[in-house]
Amino acid sequence: MKFTAQDIAAIIEGTVDGDENAIIKNVSKIDDSKPETLAFLANPSYTHYIYTTLASVVIVKNDFTPEKELSCTLIRVSDPYQAIATLLNAYAEMQPQKVGIENPSYIANSASHGEDLYLGAFAYIGENVKIGENVKIYPNSYIGDNSVIGDNAIIYAGVKVYPNTQIGDNCIIHAGAVLGSDGFGFAPTEDGSYKKIAQIGNVKLEDNVEIGANATIDCATMGSTLVKKGVKIDNLVQIAHNVVIGENTVMASQTGIAGSTKVGKNCIFAGQVGIAGHLKIGDKTTIGAQAGIMSDVKGGETLFGTPAMDAKQSFRIEAVKRQLPQLRRDLMSLSKKIEKLEL
């Protein structure tokens, strides 16, 4: 496809500063660009690349002021990240959409689906499954009995949806994710072995949820493991039984949440965060990478470390840790001086 700078500006509600007819045939990174491509500048640490970029057009913030001459055309917007997201989404919508049922695949007689279904080869749709309008289910996916999938959902290749799972409208489930597998429930016995506790609940995703590749969300022991609307979960995340994730919370890769923990809305969890079971994490909590949460969090806090603590306190402790070798030497020297004084 070919666009002009003015075409792009119209899509993202920007203002062209330069050649409105500059041609764009593709996108590129500002630090690894080619002619006739579109790049964007959002992170100030990349500003120096705008003076050497080969991109024909660069999206920048409205208040960007170049310090020297530029060879590219600018499109000024209030938020470059939002602009590029809008643009890429518009581009994706222009691509041909898959529709139809491929063979071999299986749909139970009691299952139902709306219009414009795409069902890839070797997909399996169980008994009493209800599928909404414009749903795409890619090859080798399994949708268990009595599950519900809302309108405009996308289920990528190899996803496993256990029976009784509920998936809302506009959800995206990436390849290899597993929804509804048994929670980790075992009762210790007198002889030291463990007896499995039946997990008879389900998983429920509200609207506009996205689940990353190879993520797992366990079914509830009873009731529902609940992921509320707008939640975004990265690849390789583990959500245990009876967990509740509040609206618009985001979790980066390898985060793990133990059973029955309740997470508030608008939280941000960085990579490899670990949260113990039966806790309450308040709204708007931010947790840094590899932090371990072992007690309730009231909300509105930024935490780092294991056990996790207030970010400023954690940074002060880390600063002291770097000085420990010198502090030890100073302590040993003082100890020797005290010994001499005592003699």
Alpha-carbon distances, residue 305 vs 83, 285, 314 (angstroms): 34, 14, 7
Domain 100-310 has CATH 1.10.1370.30: no
Domain with CATH 2.160.10.10 in the chain: 100-310
Q: Is 198 exposed, middle or buried (0-12, 13-18, 19+ CB in 10 A)?
A: exposed
Cα 63–69–73 angle (5° rounding)? 65
Give the whole-angstrom CA distance, residue 304 versus residue 183. 28
Per-residue pLDDT of the chain (343 residues; tens, 9 = 90+): 789 999 999 999 999 999 999 999 999 999 999 999 999 999 999 999 999 999 999 999 999 999 999 999 999 999 999 998 898 888 888 888 889 999 999 999 999 999 999 999 999 999 999 999 999 999 999 999 999 999 999 999 999 999 999 999 999 999 999 999 999 999 999 999 999 999 999 999 999 999 999 999 999 999 999 999 999 999 999 999 999 999 999 999 999 999 999 999 999 999 999 999 999 999 999 999 999 999 999 999 999 888 777 878 888 887 888 888 888 888 888 888 888 787 6
Superfamily name with CATH number, domain 3-94? MurE/MurF, N-terminal domain (3.40.1390.10)
Gap between the Cα atoms of 37 and 30, Å rounded: 10
Parallel/antiparallel/unpaired status of strands 250-251 and 268-269 = parallel
Q: Which amino acid is at 117?
A: L
Task: State the span(s) of the chain assigned CATH 3.40.1390.10.
Answer: 3-94
Q: What's the sign of the alpha-carbon dihedral 318, 320, 323, 326?
A: negative
Q: Hey, which residues are catalytic here? A: 241
At residue 91, the pLDDT reads 82
